[in-house]
Amino acid sequence: MPHYAHINENNIVTNVIVAEESFIHSGLVGDPRNWIKTSFHTRGNRHPDNKPLRKNYAGVGYTYNKELDAFIAPKPAPEAVLNTETGLWE
Is the Cβ–Cβ distance between 18 and 6 less than 8 Å?
no
Task: Work out whether strand 82-83 and strand 70-72 pair parallel, antiparallel, or are unpaired.
Answer: unpaired
Q: What does the pLDDT read at residue 27?
A: 95
3-state DSSP assignment of residue 57: coil
Going residue by residue through the chain (90 aa), what tens digit of pLDDT does each one get?
999 999 999 999 999 999 999 999 999 999 999 999 999 999 999 999 989 999 999 999 999 999 999 999 999 999 999 999 999 999
Q: Distance of CA 37 to CAs 13, 79, 80, 90, Å?
A: 12, 30, 27, 25
Domain ranges of the chain: 3-89
Q: Which residues contact 74 (CB under 8 A, 6 or more apart)?
A: 61, 62, 63
